Amino acid sequence: MNMQRISEVVLLVAGFALGLCACHTVKVNKHKPWIETSYHGVITENMDIVQLDPPLVALDKDAPVPYAGEICAFKIHGLEAPFEAVVLNGTSGEGQLRAKGLVDCELQKEYTFIIQAHDCGAGPGGTGGKKSHKAVVHIQVNDVNEFSPVFREVQYHTAVTEGKIYDSILQVEATDQDCSSQYSQICNYQITTTNTPFAIDRNGNIRNTEKLSFEKQQQYEVLVTAFDCGQKRSTESVPVHIDVKPVCKPGWQGWDKRVDYEPGTGSKQLFPKMNLETCGGLLSSVRTTVELQTSHIGKGCDRETYSEKSLQKLCGASSGSTDLLPAPSTSTNWTASLVTDSERDSDLIFRFDGRQAAKIPDQVVPQNLTDQFTVATWMKHGPNPGLRAEKETLLCNSDKTEMNRHHYSLYVHNCRLVFLLRRDFIQVDTFRPAEFHWKLDQICDKEWHYYVINVEFPVVTLYVDGVTYDPYLVTDDWPIHPSQIDVQLTVGACWQGGEVTKPRFTQYFRGSLSGLTIRPGKIESQKVISCLQACKEGLDINSLESLGKGIKFHFNPAQSILVMEGEDLENMNAALRKVSYINSRQFPTPGIRHLHISTSVQCFGEDTCIFIPDIDAVVMVLQPSEPRITIAGVDRLTRPAADLRGPAGLTLFQDLHIISTVTKGDTASHHTAGRPGVQEEIIHNLDYCDILVLGEELRPEQESLQLQRSTLLGKHLDATNSTSGMSIYGVDSMSNYEQVIRQVYYHNWHPAQTPDRKFRLTCSELNGRYTSNEFTLEISVLHKSEAGEHVNHMVAPSQYMQVVPHLAMVHSLYPTHGPGAPSAATVVIVICIAALVVVVVLGIYRIHLTHQQEGRNSDTTKERELDWDDSALNITVNPMESFQEPQGAEEEASEEDEEDDDEEEDDDITSAESNDSEEEEEVPGSLSVKQGSKRGQLDWDNSTLTY
């Protein structure tokens, strides 16, 4: 037994030892703290303790083990949360949520953040600590009634008609900045003025308790205070002014039937003194529509009348469009048979009455229509009674012969716009979208609208006056199988080439078209579309920022209709006074624009309301001061034949100047020192300049007009060239046109076979509405036999013209030694004095040549700037020089010739230097005389001297 006990004790001790070893190997901090998954808290603003539900308590299964079973911290995640969590008892895990500072309900009503509990770890150092899962905390901030009600207006003003009892004369309104619905709502209003015949309800509506009399009292002033639902009163009462008016007729007052608009004056108020008289009727809302009626002017309003191509370039449209309705000309003769309308200056409008159509030449038709292209046109169309089943074709591409397949077309059918696009068979023979239908009021309203169809197959989008419309119906069809049949593109009808005995037009269009274009490969952006159809005139509002509170307004896309709506009558009156007319065109279309104003009102608590009569007025756009475009410059050039054969040719209009002036009348005389009829120079754009060859056309095998394409870079300009002349077009400034035209060159490789040339230059603004004078330039060619005389007689003597101007007078007064001539002594004295002056001048001149010789190279371009018009010059031949005598001086005495020879030897000038012009394209030592602002004054231009 003893042995058995001893063995049991031994086993017990061994087991205890093993247990101790096992305890030392077990991890002390085994569990994470545990908290609730969400908490909801409430805190009153300006307090710091948060009341949480449930309370903030963290539990740890390691308890009661020290540290491991204790809670050391609560941590908040969310830097914007102005709260902190503290541990109240680490053993029990109790915590508390506090605000770091004062919370304000008006700044933020609720907060949401994350909280976690952390235990104390395995030991006093906090190592090996664990954290609980993340719990969401929602905190609501309770409001304190700290703000008083404040009225929206500083004071209120209204008027009533005598003898009526109103349910509501005026409504006052106060607001409260408290955040809660209890303290921010206004629960009551009160009139603090005693002995007044007015009462107010809890919504702020003021009514009269008895009938008012204009004779008894014409105005009342009452003070009103407000209370919020916490019964806090407004700190200040608001005054309410109530005018009593006699019985009257409602309607608009203070407006003029005619408003004159002077072009270039910007925006002009239409009704600066206008007000709506309601005769005491209290209106809850006013709705006024102002309509500017401009449908009788051009394409619905005053738009730019530049050519379609110029407008597209001005608006930044993609290049490559084809104009199918251009102005008739020799190169665009397919529109010559169409009827044009002259509804407005320079607007190119084609009118189709069901009998006209045009076939587009094959070389003009775009051949590369892909899945992306744009069709655009202006159209005015109305319903056609009795012909509603007939299709009216604007554009049609159909088989020319044999068959009658329509490849693509644009037509109107029963006041619906339809675009047909039958794709060619390419890959798969399947149904594809082929017909796109739009049903719009604009199609048959007999007004001008701008239609743009953007094709991004299979999506087709229609723009009407810049607004997009998706088709209401899309039908599919089989693709067209390939064939060798040619197609015909037509405008105004469709070509029926097959299935009839004789090809003919069918499905004629009835209406007006303008600017019909196709742009293959690209679609047009909405920004460009809006620019192309934008009106330059319309209604406007001066100072949108100053519109009264509560005023709503809306413009239609063309800004021809303005709708304004508001609840306060005075604000509506002020808003209507700010309505203006504006026309941004520099030269607007003069004439009448009709104005129509209609008004509807709603009244407080009445089944029937007052009626406001419509009013009609006109805006008279006065005749703009028409510009006078003047082209000036040298009108005659005499050049050696070598200049025309040179590599750069002859610059035609190097000193060209284009100016524009207007004559200001009495209406604008304040701009011109109060004098009527004074001319002022103005700056505006041009849209084309034509250089026309007068007489026989250019011979392309030996002569041409040329212009470097680089000259057009950076400008809105383009140019075309032919044997009849050159056209430079595009909307751009006069200065840019000057720069380009000055770079036009004339080449002639065989000038001896060509007579003298004449060129006529004209420029235009607004597509021909204003044109310039016809400036004619004459080119005279000097051949070899004439060149020497021209150089010796014209160039050489001219260097003394400014130095000894009196010699010219002497020569003109005494050309010969005939009867009445001065004595020989006088002549000798004059000649001697002239010789002395010439010797001095030549010395100075040769010194100048010595200094300039190293820095000068031969410059053919500048030499071509020599421009002599000898028609107005009296040239004196210096008798001391050995230059060849001019033809007009062959009768000079032989004594002068001898003196010439002596002077030639003294000055070391050889005859080779002066008479070798036959073999030179540039005359050594030649001078260029520039024409200044005053004709007849000659200035030296050393830049053209060559050595």
CATH of the domain at 395: 2.60.120.200
CA distance 565 to 279: 19
Please tell me whether residues 489 and 559 are part of one structural domain: no
How does pLDDT run across 873-909, given as a tens digit for each residue?
333 334 333 333 334 334 334 344 444 444 444 444 3
Q: pLDDT confidence of 842, banded at 50, 70, 90?
A: confident
Domain presence at residue 19: no
pLDDT given at position 617? 94
pLDDT band at 419 (very low <50, low <70, confident <90, very high): very high
pLDDT bin (cut points 50, 70, 90) of residue 614 is very high
Residue 201 has a pLDDT of 93
Q: Is residue 686 part of a domain?
A: yes
Q: Does residue 865 carry a pLDDT above 50?
A: no
Q: What is residue 846's predicted lDDT score, i.e. its pLDDT? A: 61
Q: Tell me: do 396 and 527 sit in the same domain.
A: yes
Q: Does residue 808 belong to any structural domain of this protein?
A: no
Lookup: tokens for 643:
């200049």
CB 305 within 8 A of CB 767: yes
Q: Which of 533, 563, 587 corresponds to the end of one domain? A: 533
Q: Is residue 17 part of a domain?
A: no
User: Given strand 678-681, what is the order of strands in its sheet?
Assistant: 628-632, 657-664, 678-681
Kindly tell me the burial class for residue 525, based on how many C-beta atoms sit within 10 Å of its own C-beta (0-12, 13-18, 19 or more). middle
In a domain, 260, yes or no: yes
Domain end residue (candidates: 87, 116, 142): 142
pLDDT digits (tens, 9 = 90+) for 421-454: 887 656 456 777 888 999 999 899 888 899 999 9
What percent of the chain stands above pLDDT 70?
A: 76
Residues with Cβ within 8 Å of 858's Cβ and at least 6 positions away in sequence, in order, are 922, 946
Nearest by Cα to 590 from 613, 616, 623? 623
What is the domain count for the chain? 5
- The DSSP annotation for 532-554 comes to HH--SEEEEES-GGGSPTT-EEE
Q: Output the pLDDT for position 346.
A: 56
The pLDDT score that the predictor gives to residue 344 is 52
Helix (H, G, I), strand (E, B) or coil at 805: helix
Same domain, 319 and 430: yes
Summarised one tens digit per residue, pLDDT across range 396-414 is 988 887 777 888 899 999 8
Tell me the C-alpha to C-alpha distance, in Å, between residue 498 and each of 205, 225, 398, 402, 488.
79, 88, 10, 4, 12
* CA 243 and chain centroid, separation: 49
Block residue for tokens 């309900």 = 105
Same domain, 289 and 221: no
The domain boundary, picked from 748, 782, 816, lies at: 782
- Kindly tell me if the per-residue pLDDT of 647 is higher than 80: no
Give a yes or no: residue 14 inside a domain: no
Q: What is the mean pLDDT of residues 150-163?
A: 90
DSSP 622: P
Query: Does the bond joining 64 to the residue before it have cis omega, within 30 degrees of 0?
Result: yes
CATH at 105: 2.60.40.60
Q: What is the DSSP string of 766-790?
A: TTTTEE---EEEEEEEE-HHHHHHH
Identify whether residues 113 and 206 lie together within a single domain.
Answer: no
| 88 and 104 part of one domain | yes
Check residue 618 and give its pLDDT: 93
Distance between CA 250 and CA 915 in Å, rounded?
98
Please state the rounded mean pLDDT for residues 55-62. 88
- 420: nearest Cα among 467, 460, 389: 460
Task: Identify whether residues 170 and 269 lie together within a single domain.
Answer: no
CATH number of the domain to which 258 belongs: 2.60.40.680
CA distance readout (Å), 763 to 57, 221, 706, 769: 92, 70, 18, 11
Is there a single domain that holds both residue 509 and residue 573?
no
Same domain, 79 and 135: yes
Reply yes or no on whether the pLDDT at 740 is more than 90.
Answer: yes
Specify if 586 maps to a domain: yes
Indicate whether 378 and 510 sit together in one domain: yes
Mean pLDDT of 760-781: 90
Please check whether residues 188 and 163 belong to one and the same domain.
yes
Are 709 and 561 found together in one domain? no
**Angle at the Cα of 742 from the Cα atoms of 736 and 746, rounded to 5 degrees:** 140
Would residue 228 count as lying in a domain? yes
Residue span of the structural domain in which 212 resides: 150-245
Q: Angle 772-778-781 (CA atoms, 0-180°, nearest 5)?
A: 160
Total residues found in the chain within this entry: 947
- Give the full edge-to-edge strand order of the sheet including 703-706: 650-651, 745-748, 703-706
